[in-house]
Chains A and B, each alone.
Chain A
Amino acid sequence: MIDLEIDRRDDGVTVVRPAGRLTMVAAPQLTAVITDLVAEGRATFVVDLSQTVFVDSTGLGALIGCLKRARQAGGDLRLAAPTDQVTTILELTNLHRVLRTHDTVDEAGAEL
């Protein structure tokens, strides 16, 4: 099980921080957490990837799924502080065009 930290900030932005490997094992967990948060009424998210050491295609799929959920709820989702491996995967798949990344959580939050 992946370690998932959630920070419901007062400015309405929810920061989710998955630690470790975001793969087939952990991806459904991230999706479930975001789904629950949306049901709670939260819609703007920053996924803090600073502690995420590895993302595979299932992890990317989960991030896209979370972005769709956030948008459907009238909000948005940004990524913060991806590691080099994650940045490379985002660029190779061109998904950085839809999954906007920022250097820090605060920068990402400011865009929302």
Chain B
Amino acid sequence: MPNGRTGAPDDDFAALTASLVGERGVEEVRARHAEALAVMGAPPDERFDRLTRLAQRVLHVPIAGVTLIADDLAWFRSFQGLDLLQMARCDTFCDVTVTRNAVNTVVDATAEAAYRNLPAVVGETALRAYAGIPLHDRSGIAIGAFCVYDTEPREFSEDELGTLRELASWAETELVRSEDVERARTVQQALLPQRSLEVDGLDVAGVCLPVGAVGGDFFDWDLVRGQLVFALVDVMGKGTAAALHAATFRALLRARTVDRARAIDSWDEPAALPRGLGDIVRGVDRLMRADLDRTGSMVTGFLARYDAARHRLHYADAGHGLSVVVRAAGGREHLVSRDLPVGVDPEADWSDHAVDLGPGDIALTFSDGLFELLGGDRAAFDAVESLVRTHPDADSLVAAITALAAQGDPIDDVTAVVVRRPAER
């Protein structure tokens, strides 16, 4: 089979990994990668499209693409000259390339037993020539191929294969990066409350839409000593750097809240008031300040708990300033403090505040991503109020904010938490 294999197996480490994992294991790895990459039905990706367009032009071929192999299927992540999303794995040239884990060229498919009966060869597409370079994940397992096709028999020169290798290694880098980023996104989204909450006389909903795959915003809630405690936090900046601080902040906030609750029998104890929430923020600040200092970062946030018996919302605000109560009877209140963001001033302290919720009142805290979407000035609070009034329950308000973020092309993460005291029946 002179045309079957022109390149050497990619590298020893890849071969070693594959042999250690074993063939069955490799298949599982491929399937998990395909899921992690969220390629199933994912829209074509411009990063790969550029590379496949380039391959098409430089190698003078009608078809070029990136194929990912998972289970029994081949997924076409980016294809020029062919309008297909997936195909049975065994019907593809790339299956051979991936299984062999080696550069694979075919001069004339009709002359080779392994390819002459493939649907793309006998069918309308009538493919004849093929060149494919295996693509590997971080651990060196072949998970797909960068490939070009011609409808006329042809050979590929060493020079052309060199170009193809370059393009493939570029695609591989992108693949590994997107896999990493997708995993990070999955983890960060999993750290958020997963569904709306109906507690003790309160409807609660939230949303966090990072502008990139991950971001510095998060929200959190839990029932602590019988009361709903919730927070919205915004780490300065965006992206992975902010996300690292966000994960730390969330963990410390949870730990300090539990510590605080453990120290008291109920939130009614004098010890819990008047500085219950402010103390929690101060505790987090003291623990995080060195990290934030070293990286030149800071964090704004809103922390609250709801006393259902008294219909009273207690809160502390760390330079967040973007929280309101919209009154069912008309008007709104801006929930403010004079307290700084976390990580700014070693002497800083945080105070406790409270506001009563009447029947049908809605409290909304949101991040500056939404603030900027709504104009980024004081008038944005009017826009927030009318948004609340036109969507008077927690879930529909969150859905409206999500839709707004989808249309508005936000420049920063959009996050919001809504709590509503139902109107009395």
Contacts and interface: CB of A to CB of B under 8 A. Distances in A.
Nearest to A84: B377
A24 interface: yes
A93 B236 contact: no
A62 B296 contact: yes
Contacts of B298: 57, 60-61, 64
Contacts of B372: 56
A31 B236 CA distance: 15
Contact of B236 (A58, A85, A89, A94): A58
A24 B319 contact: no
Given A56-B412, A62-B296, A88-B377, A95 B237 contact: no
Contacts of B300: 57, 93
Contacts of A60: 236, 298
A3 B337 CA distance: 35
Interface in A35-60: 54, 56-58, 60
Interface string A69-111: 0000000000000001100110111110110000000000000
Interface residues of A, number: 23
Given A31-B296, A91-B321, A93-B341, A57 B234 contact: yes
Contacts of B322: 92
A101 B349 CA distance: 22
Contacts of B236: 57-58, 60-61
Contacts of A20: none
Contact of A94 (B237, B340, B377, B378): B340
The listed residue with most B CB atoms (<10 A of its CB), out of A24, A61, A64, A98, is A61
Interface in B336-363: 337-341, 344-345
A97 B337 CA distance: 12
A84 B376 CA distance: 10
Interface of B is mostly: loop
Given A56-B412, A58-B237, A62-B296, A95 B319 contact: yes
A58 B51 CA distance: 34
B238 interface: yes
Interface of A: 24, 31, 54, 56-58, 60-62, 64-65, 68, 84-85, 88-89, 91-95, 97-98
Given A93-B319, A93-B321, A94-B319, A56 B296 contact: no
B234 A85 contact: no
Interface string B305-326: 0000000000000011110000
Contacts of A57: 234, 236-237, 298, 300, 368, 412
Given A57-B368, A62-B296, A98 B377 contact: no
Contacts of A91: 321
Nearest to B367: A57
A29 to B, nearest CB: 13
Nearest to A23: B411
A84 B380 CA distance: 13
B338 A97 contact: yes
Nearest to B293: A68
B326 to A, nearest CB: 18
